[in-house]
Amino acid sequence: MPTVGVTDLEDGDFLLDVREDDEWKSGHAEGALHIPISEFVARYGELTEAVPQDGRVHVICRSGGRSAQVTMYLVQQGIDAVNVAGGMQVWESTGRSVVTDDGQPGHVL
């Protein structure tokens, strides 16, 4: 499974957050695309429209389990996708910004 660490991510990397709505609302990475894993197959087209041409999709969840499932699916579809190891828990613990929808400081559930 293609995997990267949070510290490998650079500003501007395309980030797909597959956590559920309550987790997202509590706090997320600014600029991430949110498609919950429970709705992913039905909303797959939103991802293909949003991802930059020949761009890599960095898939993140809380700790890496759900994002690993989505990453495997995307790779099978021929998309350049990688799982973000440790997920939003590591994102937050390394000091990366976590915000709510209104731009206020958030936290990871």
Catalytic residues: 61
Name residue 2's amino acid: P
How far apart are alpha carbons 56 and 63 in whole angstroms?
20
* Whole-angstrom distance, CA of residue 99 vs CA of residue 28: 5
Asked if 56 and 13 touch (Cβ cutoff 8 Å), the reply is yes
Strand order in the sheet with 81-85: 3-5, 81-85, 57-60, 14-17, 33-34
